[in-house]
Amino acid sequence: MLKIVKPSKLMASTGSQDDSAYRYNASFRKQGHYQKHHLSASKGIQVVIVMALFLVSSSSAARSPFRPLLKDQNRTATTDDFDQNYYVTWGNQLVNFLDNRRSVELRMDQSSGSGFASKNRYLFGYFSTRIKLVPGDSSGIVTAFYLSTQQTSKHDEVDFEFLGNKPGKPHYLHTNVFVNGVGNRESRIRLWFDPTADFHTYSLLWNRHHILFMVSGVVVRVFKNSETSLGVPYPSKPMQVIASLWNGENWATDGGRSKINWKQSPFITTFQNFGIEGHKCEGHSESSPFCPSSPSSEWWEDSGSRGLSAEQMKQLKWVRRNYMAYDYCTDKTRFPKPPPECALNTI
C-alpha cells in the first residue's frame, strides 16, 4: 500500500528516486561548465577537484534541490486497486492492466486513444497518481490527469497535461484552470527530470482557498481563490478525476509543427496509485444531486492547507526561476494588462 503524504509537508524528489519529501538544500548550485586545459602536473589535484565539482553540479541540475523528509505516518494509506475508485471510459481495447490491476497502461494507436475516470465526483480534496510517460518519440501526444465537471458548457476544470516531444528534448507540463467554460489561464514548465524513465507523483490539492499543482511534492503552481476579493471566478462544482492519452498533434509539440510518428505506435503511458482523498459526491453524471461543501475539519481544508508554507514558497520560486516556459500572466500580447488574479498567483 502506498501512503499519501500530507501536501503541506511534501517537498520534492529526484528524477530517479521514489517521491519521498524533500527539504531545500541551500548548497544547491547551477550546473557549471568545465573547459579542458593542458595543465602541469602540479595542477593535477586541482583538475580532479574541478571535475568532481562539475559532476556534482551536473547531477544536481537534473534534480530538485530538496532533501528527503520523513513521511507523515499519520496519513491514511490509499489503495493501489484501480477498480475501487476508477473505471475505463473509452478506448477499452487499448487499456491494459498489470500487476493484478495495480498498474494500468493507457495506449494509443491510429485507431484511438484511451482513458479512465473516477466513479464519483468530488468537491475539494487531494488527488494524486504516479505516471510514467510515453518513452521515445512522443511528439504530438498528450497525457492528461485532471479534474472536470464534464459538462458540455460552462464546465469547471483543473488540468495537468504532459506534452510529448522528440527524444533528447525537454518534456513540458501544461496546466490550466477553467471556470464556467472559460480557461485562458495557461502555464507551462519544463520538467527537471526524465518523466519517461521512471514513475513520478503528480498531485492536485483543491480546497476553498486555493489549488496547488505539485510534481513529486514540489509546488509548481498555485491558483488562489480571489472570487470574493477580486471577483475572479473559482472552481466550485463537484468534479471527476480523469486520465487520458490522446492525439494533440495540432498544438502540443512545437506549436503543432511536430506531428505524431505513427511508426512508433502503440504509445503507452502507465499509471499507478489510484487512491483518492476528497469530499465525495455520489455518482459521476451531470445530473448528480448537489454536493454540500466539504467540512472545514477535513485535512485539506485545515489551517496548514490555506496558504503556502515557507518551504513551498521556496519550491515555487525555484520552479519559476529555472523551469518556467510560459505564464499567461506575463504574456503582454494576449494580456496588455495582466488579469487581476495574477498579482496573487505570481511571486
Cα distances (angstroms) measured from residue 182 to each of 27, 128, 176, 204: 42, 24, 10, 20
Residue 221's nearest CA partner among 117, 129, 344, 104 is 344
Residue 316's nearest CA partner among 72, 12, 5 is 12
Q: Which of 105, 157, 186, 341 is catalytic?
A: 157
How is residue 256 written as a grid cell?
503543432
Residue 45 makes CB contacts below 8 A (sequence gap 6+) with none
Give the single-character DSSP code of 17: S
Cβ neighbourhood burial of 20 (10 Å; 0-12, 13-18, 19+)? buried
Q: Which of 161, 249, 311, 341 is catalytic?
A: 161
CB atoms within 10 A of CB 310: 8
Measured between alpha carbons, how far is 93 from 247 in angstroms, rounded to an integer?
17
Residue 25's nearest CA partner among 54, 56, 65 is 65
Residue bearing cell 503528480: 202
User: Three-class SS of residue 230?
Assistant: helix
How is residue 258 written as a grid cell?
511536430
Q: Could you give the maximum distance between any two Cα atoms of the chain, in Å?
A: 79
Measured between alpha carbons, how far is 108 from 91 in angstroms, rounded to an integer?
8
DSSP character string of 242-254: EEEEEE-TTTSSG
Partner residues linked to 259 by β-bridges = none
Does the annotation mark 157 as catalytic? yes
Does the annotation mark 161 as catalytic? yes
Residue 218's nearest CA partner among 1, 25, 2, 3 is 25
Catalytic positions, please? 157, 161
